[in-house]
Every structure is written in C-alpha cells, then in structure tokens.
Amino acid sequence: MSFKFALVGNPNCGKTTMFNEVTGSTQHVGNWPGVTVEKKEGKARRFKEDIRVIDLPGIYSLSPYSLEEIISRNYILEEKPDVVINIVDATNIERNLYLTTQLIELGIPVVVALNMMDALESRGDQIDIPRLEKQLGVPVIPTSANKAQGTKELIEKSLQVAQSAATGQLGESITIFDEQIKKSLDELLSFITPQCNQVYPPRFATVKLLEGDEIVIAKLQPNSAFMALITTTRGRLEQEYDNDMETIVADQRYQFISKVISKSVKKKLSVGGLTV
C-alpha cells in the first residue's frame, strides 16, 4: 500500500520543519513567509509503509487570490491526497483555524497537527485536546516539529485515518454556519449534479459558488437556472446581512472559531503585564 499525505497550513506554522523531520530531508526552513512556492515531495522515514509526504505552500485560505493558494488548493482538490495534515500554530490558533474550517468542509480526511506546543507551554497557555477534537470533528495531535515531538504519533494517526474503512470524515457533520446560511447552502447543494461532484467536493463547491469564486464557476459551469438561483440567493443574503457574501462567510467562520476556542483554550491570565 502507498499513501500520500499533504502538509497544509499558514505560512510559518512549521510545515517545512515537519517535512524535514518526517522525511529526513534538509529543505530550507525560514522564519518568513513565502519560502515554499513549489510543492516538495519526500518519503516518510521510519515507517515500513510507502508514505509520500508533500510540503505545500503556506496559505491562509482556500480562496483563489494568490499563487500559493492556487497551487495548494489545486493539489488538494486534484491530486486528492489520502490525508490532509493541517499544521496549526498553537500559539496563533485563532488565525490558523480559519483555514481549518475550510479544510474540514472538503470531505477528505483531515488530521490536525497542533504544532509549536513547546512555545505554547512555555507561555503558560493550555489547550484541551479532546475538546478541540470534539469541536472540530477531526483528530488533533500535539506536536513540536523542531524537537521531533509528536511527529511519529502524527504519522501513525494519519496512517490509521487513511486505512480506516470510513471514507467520509467526521468534520463534515460539524456546522460552521448559522441556520439561515446553512439552509441556503443546503438548497444549493440539492442542485449540485453528480458531474460537479467529480470535480469538487459538494460542500466546498456550494460555498465557493455563493461567494462567486470565478475559478469554481468556470470549472463547474452551472446551467443558467442554477446560476440564477446562486445569484438571487447571494443577493438576498447580502441584503439581509447587510454585507458582501465573502465577508458574511468569513465572519461566520470566525464566530465558529471563537466558540471552539472558548471551549478548548485556556490562556494564562495576565493583568497589566503581571501574570496572576
């Protein structure tokens, strides 16, 4: 059996450090964004299974606006890795989970590597891993890639997920959007054809169609009746929420993330610079 695991995450969350640790290669690690624009591939060492690991460019979102986003998004959607390993910088969890909310909509297996745990712990903060897993609906493995901590467990868990009989994934049942948006998305979902399904994961497709993602629209070529429904739905929601569709969707992702964080992250209290 051979497997493909893609490392996906924000710039500077430790993807290349993780890639080097897992594959034994010596790619340049740098404390600035944009080091990786091309994807890099290597083989996981210390495992008897044939595991290809892919280090993808750092991204904040699955939108189609930057070269990094397009490369990473296309790889995930078209090459269909067995598991997306979403590397999350634990010290910057709120911003990092924004991408996570999009990955769990894809309906492909996701395992979260909660990285930089060493830095989080030395700061005195705590994250309740089982609670975070429950909120996100995907496995979460704490790691410190620079110290090779948790990395073996991460690959073991990813193998387990890749080999498990369940093809779908738990994260799909997690609701990120409020009732009204969810209702509209469900309605659009009922128009997604089996042909569309082969191109893009349906939940991802409906959100992107609603947001007016040009690449997704060009690729799916919704018929005129479907396109009209998308346009009227977007117009109606933009009027009701008094905002543009992409902002509405982003706001709701952040509301979901605040809820997740309030339930699973415990920050060391600090008052006027003094810790209490």
Following DSSP, what letter does each residue of 166-181 receive, concatenated? --S-GGGG---S-HHH
Among 115, 135, 151, 169, which residue sits at the site for ligand GDP (rule: CB under 6 A)? Answer: 115
> For ligand GDP, which is the closer residue by CB, 83 or 117?
117
Q: Nearest-5° angle of CA 227, CA 231, CA 236? A: 150
Among 146, 182, 215, 265, which residue sits at the site for ligand GDP (rule: CB under 6 A)? Answer: 146
Among 6, 7, 8, 16, which residue sits at the site for Mg ion (rule: CB under 5 A)? Answer: 16
Distance CA 163, CA 114 (A): 22
Among 59, 84, 116, 205, which residue sits at the site for ligand GDP (rule: CB under 6 A)? Answer: 116
The answer to whether 30 contacts K ion (rule: CB under 5 A) is: yes
Q: Which residues are CB-neighbours of 74 under 8 A, at least 6 positions away?
A: none
The answer to whether 35 contacts K ion (rule: CB under 5 A) is: yes
State both tokens at 51. 């595991």
146 touches which of Mg ion, K ion, ligand GDP, none (CB within 5 to 8 A by kind)? ligand GDP
Of residues 55-94, those binding ligand GDP (CB under 6 A): 58
- Closest by CA position to 203, among listed 238, 237, 174: 174
Is position 118 annotated in a ligand binding site?
A: yes
The answer to whether 29 contacts ligand GDP (rule: CB under 6 A) is: yes
Distance CA 40, CA 18 (A): 12
Helix (H, G, I), strand (E, B) or coil at 276: coil
Distance CA 81, CA 139 (A): 17
> For ligand GDP, which is the closer residue by CB, 148 or 228?
148
Judged by CB under 5 A, which stretch of 11-19, 168-176, 226-234, 235-243 contacts Mg ion? 11-19
Is position 18 annotated in a ligand binding site?
A: no
115 touches which of Mg ion, K ion, ligand GDP, none (CB within 5 to 8 A by kind)? ligand GDP
**For the chain, percent helix, then strand, then coil, each to nearest 5?**
50, 15, 30
Is position 150 annotated in a ligand binding site?
A: no
Rg of the chain, C-alpha, whole Å: 19
61 touches which of Mg ion, K ion, ligand GDP, none (CB within 5 to 8 A by kind)? none
159 to each of 134, 168, 271, how far by Cα in Å? 20, 15, 44
The answer to whether 36 contacts Mg ion (rule: CB under 5 A) is: yes
Shortest approach of K ion to residue 85 CB, angstroms? Answer: 17
Shortest approach of K ion to residue 35 CB, angstroms? Answer: 4
Max CA separation in the chain (angstroms): 61
Q: Is the separation of the CB atoms in 56 and 15 below 8 Å?
A: yes
- Please report, in range form, the residues annotated as the binding site for GTP: 9-16, 34-38, 55-58, 115-118
Instruction: Give the interface with Mg ion as residue ranges (CB under 5 A).
Output: 15-16, 35-36
